């Protein structure tokens, strides 16, 4: 079944928080802005982006070639997250390194019932997966409504 997100929220995010750039060869680069928050100290906000590359596969849909989280590692909100007190690596570049989204078909990833946590941080893979679901659901919403001029040849 996957995570349910209302069309109203997806429309708002697609309009305000998502940019999509068609690439040569028909792939798409997307950037989804997300205001994250620390999981302690009252939830200090910090800016983040989920960035990825999708490649169209004939008859199969869109494959997630790459997905990563970008944020300022010196942002006080990020520094206040509990990942900095755990034995996990707080390097933002490594947050999605083991994500099952890497290499999956978009619809396949979104259809699964992944464990998620709605906290605003990125401290565990469960938190990261929740943010990926938000971003990739928004991308699929955009894809279903995009101008056809972006269709791969």
Per-residue confidence of the chain (153 residues) as pLDDT tens digits?
A: 568 899 999 999 999 999 999 998 889 999 999 999 988 767 889 999 999 999 999 888 999 999 999 999 999 999 888 888 777 778 888 889 889 999 999 999 999 999 888 888 888 889 899 999 999 999 999 999 987 654 444
Sign of CA dihedral 13, 17, 22, 23: negative
Domain edges within the chain:
7-146
Closest CA to 75 of 46, 51, 32: 46
What's this model's pTM, rounded to 2 decimal places? 0.90
**Total residues belonging to the chain:** 153
Closest CA to 56 of 32, 31, 33, 22: 22
């Amino acid at each position: 079944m996957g995570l349910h997100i209302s069309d109203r929220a997806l429309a708002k995010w697609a309009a305000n928080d998502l940019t999509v750039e068609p690439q040569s060869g028909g792939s798409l680069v997307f950037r989804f802005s997300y205001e994250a928050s620390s999981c302690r100290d009252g939830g200090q906000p910090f800016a983040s982006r989920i960035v990825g590359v999708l490649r169209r596969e004939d008859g199969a849909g869109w494959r997630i070639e790459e997905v990563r989280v970008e944020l300022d590692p010196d942002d006080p909100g990020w520094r206040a997250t509990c990942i900095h007190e755990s034995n996990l690596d707080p390097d933002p570049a490594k947050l999605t390194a083991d994500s099952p989204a890497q290499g999956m078909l978009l619809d396949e990833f979104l259809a699964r019932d992944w464990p998620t946590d709605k906290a605003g941080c990125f401290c565990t893979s469960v938190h990261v997966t929740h943010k990926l679901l938000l971003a990739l659901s928004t991308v699929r919403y955009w894809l279903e409504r995009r101008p056809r001029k972006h269709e791969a040849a």
